[in-house]
Structure 1
Amino acid sequence: MVAFTVLSQLLLAASALAVPTSSERFASRAARRAAGLNRQSRPKIASSGLSAEFTNSSNVDYSSNWSGAVLVASTATYKSVTGTFTVPSPKEPSGGSGEHSASAWVGIDGDTCGTAILQTGLDFTISGSSVSYDAWYEWYPDYAYDFSGISFSSGDTVTVTVTATSKTAGTAKITNVSTGKSVSHSFSGQPSLCEYNAEWIVEDFEEGSSLVPFANFGTVTFTNAKATTNSGSTVTPSGSDLIDIEQNGKVLTSVSTSGSTVTVKYTG
């Protein structure tokens, strides 16, 4: 019994050591950026790998990097977007090995307006037996920057919000509801937004100008998903454009909306 207890303690210790600390993850990403491997979200990249017959069977658009829901303004413009989701436990896709990532975020623009995007979200990465999470903010076309002073674990509840105070200024805020910790960043003097799009997205983001290997993120469900227009009215994703990720002729996600909920499932 004593030997079993000691062995269990050693296994637990080894497991704990396999998970990088927040400071180690931050240092690792800083090193990759210094080597030119900057992490960046991109505007929606249209996918043309599916046949017209297949695409016409659905009301979903296809992209190589975005999956989720996008509201496209006809007259009103969007000033704020928010959503809440549970931090998933990513896995390597079937047949995959090495590091795989995905990211969940909310943003303004990037679909019908691709010149600038105000966004914030959480990356989730699986590498062997290690899982890590990184919160970030970005005003595209600049790169993403990591928030410091906040951490996340699988099962935590996270709320992400972006607010445009003007077309060239705004804030990005992320809150770990489970721990009560919140961080934010203010922008000014940025490239002009159009404020045409409000979105709730799971993305295959870029690092070093290439899409990262896409993780099996399970399901990300944005709840309490809302956007505020320039007139002050609040709208939900109901009736939004839906987007699924398609890569190399294979659809990897399935998205749906209901009221103020956006559900993105990995299907690859």
Structure 2
Amino acid sequence: MKFTSTLALTALLAAPALAGPHGHKISESRSGSSQDTFPGAPNANQGYGQGQAQPSFGGFNQNQNQGQSQAQPTSTSTSTSTTSQVAPAVTSSISHSSSSSSSDYYVNENWAGAVQETSGTATFSYVAATFTLPSVTPTAASSSDTQSASFWVGIDGATGQNQIWQAGVDIYVENGETSFLGWYEWYPADTVSFDMDFNIGDVIVASVESLSSSEGVAILENLTTGKNVTATATAPSTSATLVGQTAEWILEDLAVDGDGLTLIDFGEAVFTGCVAKAGGRTVNLDGAELYAVEDSTSDHVQAAPEIY
């Protein structure tokens, strides 16, 4: 039986859409509706700084409080994990008409990728994927505008409750300069950056694991450079403990309608080795819900997912 673990994301940027950093929930952006929310969608009111609120199946949570003290990450020079499965891929192309009525995915304002939900009483305790940082092309927006895309994996990002444990890498371009940020976050606490260098073309393995409902470990590995970083964190409050209901593999538009960042044209991004663990069982992308990013101001899909 084929183990479906590759997710491809394609950039379909018909017009520059503004976005803002982590702390977002999935925001639904269907044609003919305004800011409707659906399970797992992020809050449209975003400020700079990571901190994604998790979307939920049936209604995204829109409470965005931040602030927490996280253990600082540590860096080593030896890679400690490998992946043989393929993860989600997302592609961005600059010409695409609206497809908000597509039966292949849900449309929202900032998440493109896959969300897997548990069945029965098993809960997710681990999520991982491998992705290559893609070449990016600034859109027609002013060169002084910051353009970006965020690649991450997480637990409980789509539960609609007040928690999410996630880690990933952001790409930013401003005035022709490209920069990167590796990070982890136990929402609603602030995002914490990893001390790690990145370049376009680097192959990254990202994973988050929950040791309990209130404690977790995040790991980023740069397979190209042989470096890896690990950090531990705890739930910032008793209301932010994990339930392990969903696992996510996401490429995110870091802001929603006017928060200052533009989704960068990333061409195609592919997450391979998309896996999660629940109740001692390994879960892949089979049956996962797919999400595409659509700019609500132009009704154009900007990033669409495909599992293969």
Whether TM-score is above 0.5 comes out as yes
When residues 200 and 50 of structure 1 are mapped into structure 2, their CA distance, relative to the original with a 3 A threshold, is farther
CA positional deviation for 1:242: 0.3
Instruction: Find out whether 1:139 has 2:186 as its counterpart.
Output: yes
Structure 1 residue 234 and structure 2 residue 282: aligned?
yes
Unaligned runs of 5+ residues in structure 1 are 1-37, 259-268
For residue 104 of structure 1, the aligned residue among 145, 151, 157 is: 151
- 1:62 corresponds to which residue? 107
Q: Distance in 2 between matches of 1:177 and 1:169?
A: 26
AA aligned opposite 1:128? N
Partner of 2:116: 71
Which of these two proteins has the greater Rg computed from alpha carbons? 1
Q: Shift of residue 141 of structure 1?
A: 1.0
Partner Cα distance (1:213, 1:54) in 2: 20
TM-score, L = length of structure 1: 0.75
**Residue 177 in 1 paired to residue 223 in 2?**
yes
Aligned to 2:303: 253
Query: How much has 1:39 moved relative to structure 2?
Result: 4.6
Higher relative contact order by CA 8 Å / sep ≥ 6: 1 or 2? 2
CA distance in 2, matches of 1:96, 1:221: 28
Residue 15 of structure 1 corresponds to which residue in structure 2? Answer: none
Q: Which amino acid aligns with 2:267?
A: G
Deviation at 1:54, TM superposition (A): 5.3
Q: Which residue of 2 aligns with 1:89?
A: 135
**Local SS of the residue matching 1:222:** strand
Decide whether the 8 Å contact of 1:43 with 1:114 is kept in 2: no
- Aligned equivalents of 1:57, 1:48: Cα separation in 2: 10
Q: Once the 2 structures are TM-superposed, how far is the Cα of residue 218 of structure 1 from its aligned partner? A: 1.7
Provide the C-alpha distance between the structure 2 equivalents of 1:67 and 1:96, rounded to a whole number of angstroms: 24
For 1:198 and 1:178, the matched residues in 2 are separated by 26
- Of stretches 186-195 and 156-165 in structure 1, the one that deviates more from structure 2 is 186-195
Contiguous gaps of at least 5 residues in structure 2 = 1-19, 34-97
Within 2, Cα distance between the matches of 1:145 and 1:131? 20
Which residue of 184, 192, 211 maps to 1:165? Answer: 211
Deviations 1:143-190 (A, max 9, x none): 211111x10111111000000111111011101011110011101243
Sequence identity (%): 33
Secondary structure, in 3 states, of the residue corresponding to 1:40? coil
**Contact 1:204–1:211, Cα closer than 8 Å, also in 2:** no
Native 8 Å contact 2:100 2:294 kept in 1: no
The number of residues matched between the two structures is: 217
> CA distance change for structure 1 residues 95 and 213 in 2, over 3 Å: closer, same or farther?
closer
Tell me how far 1:250 sits from its aligned partner: 1.3
Which residue identity does 1:237 align to in structure 2?
A: L
Matched, 1:215 2:264: yes
Q: Post-superposition shift, 1:114?
A: 3.5
RMSD: 2.2
Distance in 2, Cα, partners of 1:205 & 1:166 = 29
Structure 1 stretch displaced more, 93-102 or 176-185: 93-102
> Per residue, is there more helix in 1 or in 2?
1
Partner of 1:24: none
Residue 126 in structure 1 maps to residue 170 in structure 2: no
Indicate the residue corresponding to 1:200 in structure 2: 249
Task: Name the aligned partner's letter for residue 29 of structure 2.
Answer: S
Normalising by the residue count of structure 2, what TM-score does the alignment of the two structures yield? Answer: 0.66
Q: How has the CA–CA distance of structure 1 residues 83 and 62 changed in structure 2, closer, same or farther, with 3 Å as cutoff?
A: same
CA distance in structure 2 between the partners assigned to 1:95 and 1:135 by the alignment: 25
Contact 1:102 1:125 in 2 (8 A): yes
Query: Residues 41 and 189 from structure 1, CA distance in 2 versus in 1: closer, same or farther, beyond 3 angstroms?
Result: closer
Q: CA deviation at 1:199?
A: 0.8
**Structure-2 change in CA distance of 1:50 and 1:126 (3 Å):** farther
Separation of aligned partners in 2, 1:120 and 1:187: 11
Question: Which residue pairs with 1:16 in the alignment?
Answer: none
Task: Give the superposition deviation at 1:238.
Answer: 2.1
Distance 1:201 1:143 in 2: 19
